[in-house]
Structure formats: structure tokens, C-alpha cells
Amino acid sequence: MQDYAAARRTMVDCQVRTFDVTDLSVIAAFDVTPREIYAPAGREAMAYADVAIPLDGAPGRVMLPPLVLARMLQSFGPLDGLKVLEIGAGTGYGSALLARLGAKVTALESDDGLAAAAKINLERDGVAGVQVVTGALANGYAANAPYDAILLNGGYEVLPDALLQQLADGGALVAIEVSGAASRIVIQRRASGVNSRAVIVNAWAPVLDGFARKPEFTF
């Protein structure tokens, strides 16, 4: 039987910490959140590997590698008490981490099966403070807006304006920007109606549904 606690400790020490993740609250959240609970059935042994784990029944959707998600969460700074929208909640792992960082989480998922799994997994993990909702990812979830932070749990080529409008003044959005063969974690901040953007580090994720650039036709 696999020792998941030991595997989790190794993941934190050999993946998360070595990817320039120094925020102790982020490290602590990864240290106590059982990723194997959130892994798809039959893939629990992959839970602590440095890989993107495909999510069954949802083509193009993955659990991001732990080190990538850790770096994204660290980019926000303190999240305690803040309203956070997670887009592409998947099986709920990112939601659990956000909740353990003290955030009030709206977890948006477009796939009904994944949303149901997220609710079950969060309950098994004893996580409170997460509202799992369903809908098109690119639309965000205006009912709970504005948000202090938005986490895009995947990649994008284009960010819908409607989504940026759901950020509170002073809020931040963290996502993986994909442009051709290049991809990187970026943070976009909104202040006085003006958006600014900064690159954090190179990382990859598949582009989420609704966030791809529309093909341009040439004649």
C-alpha cells in the first residue's frame, strides 16, 4: 500500500519548494491536502508525481502539476478572507488549497460530472467554505462578483472581457497564458479600471474551453 503521507512530503520538498515557492502558508496548504483524494479513480498513484493528470470524461482537462499550481497560488499573495473565483475547478483540489489559505471560494466547473466529484471530494477532505457552481467557464460567475482574486485552473489564449469585469478594483487574476509554443504563468491586476500584466515563470497547461483564440480566415 502506497504511503501517501510520505509521497506528499516528498512532493512538497522536491517539487513545490524547488520551484521558488517560499510562502509558508502555501507550503502548509500543500502539506496537509491529500491530493490522492482528488485524483481520478485509478490514477491515485500519480497524485504526487510532477505531471499533469488527465481528468476522465473531460477531454483536454487536467489536474495541474503541484509545483505549477503552488506557484500560481503564491502569486496572489495573502488570500485570507478574500473572495476568490476558481475557473475550471475540476475535482476540487485547487478549491481545497484556496479554502485552506482562508479564501471564500466560488468553484466554477462546466462539466457536471467533475462538479459532482468536487463536491464529494471536498466533503471527504473536510473542507468548508467552497461553493461549487456549474456553468460556462468563459462567462465566470457574475452572481458572486466582484472577486478579489480569480484563478484560472488551466491555460488561455484570450481572456474574455466579461471575466476581467468580475475582478474587484485592486483584484488579481492568475492564469497560464498560451501563445504558440510559448506559455507562462501571468498575473493581471485591475486598478482604477486599468489592467496591468506581469509574467511570473514559464509553465504549460492545455487551453480551457472558451479561452482559445478564434481562427482567422485569410483569402
- Predicted confidence at residue 219, as pLDDT, reads 52
Task: Read off the C-alpha cell for 173.
Answer: 487574476
- Predicted confidence at residue 13, as pLDDT, reads 98
Q: Which domains does the chain have, with CATH numbers?
A: 4-202 (3.40.50.150)
- Predicted confidence at residue 162, as pLDDT, reads 87
Smallest CA-to-CA distance from 205 within 172, 181, 183 is with 183
- Predicted confidence at residue 166, as pLDDT, reads 96
Residue 207 pLDDT grade (very low, low, confident, very high; cuts 50, 70, 90): very high
Distance between CA atoms of 35 and 126, rounded to whole angstroms?
A: 13
Q: Dump pLDDT digits (tens) for 49-90.
A: 999 999 988 888 999 999 999 999 999 999 999 999 999 999
- Predicted confidence at residue 191, as pLDDT, reads 86
- Predicted confidence at residue 190, as pLDDT, reads 85
What mean pLDDT comes out for the span 192-217? Answer: 89
- Predicted confidence at residue 56, as pLDDT, reads 86
- Predicted confidence at residue 94, as pLDDT, reads 99
Q: How many CA atoms lie within 13 A of 17 on its CB side?
A: 11
Q: Dump pLDDT digits (tens) for 171-189.
A: 999 999 999 889 999 999 9
Q: Dump pLDDT digits (tens) for 99-129.
A: 999 999 999 999 999 999 999 999 999 999 9
DSSP 19: G
Q: How many CA atoms lie within 13 A of 126 on its CB side?
A: 3
Could you tell me if 44 and 29 are in contact, meaning their C-beta atoms sit under 8 angstroms apart?
Answer: no
- Predicted confidence at residue 217, as pLDDT, reads 58
Q: Dump pLDDT digits (tens) for 133-186.
A: 999 999 999 999 999 999 999 999 999 988 989 999 999 999 999 998 899 999
Q: Dump pLDDT digits (tens) for 3-57.
A: 999 999 999 999 999 999 999 999 999 999 999 999 999 999 999 999 999 998 8
Could you tell me if 95 and 132 are in contact, meaning their C-beta atoms sit under 8 angstroms apart?
Answer: yes
Could you tell me if 93 and 35 are in contact, meaning their C-beta atoms sit under 8 angstroms apart?
Answer: yes
Residue 192 pLDDT grade (very low, low, confident, very high; cuts 50, 70, 90): confident
Phi, psi of 14 (to 5 degrees): -100, -15
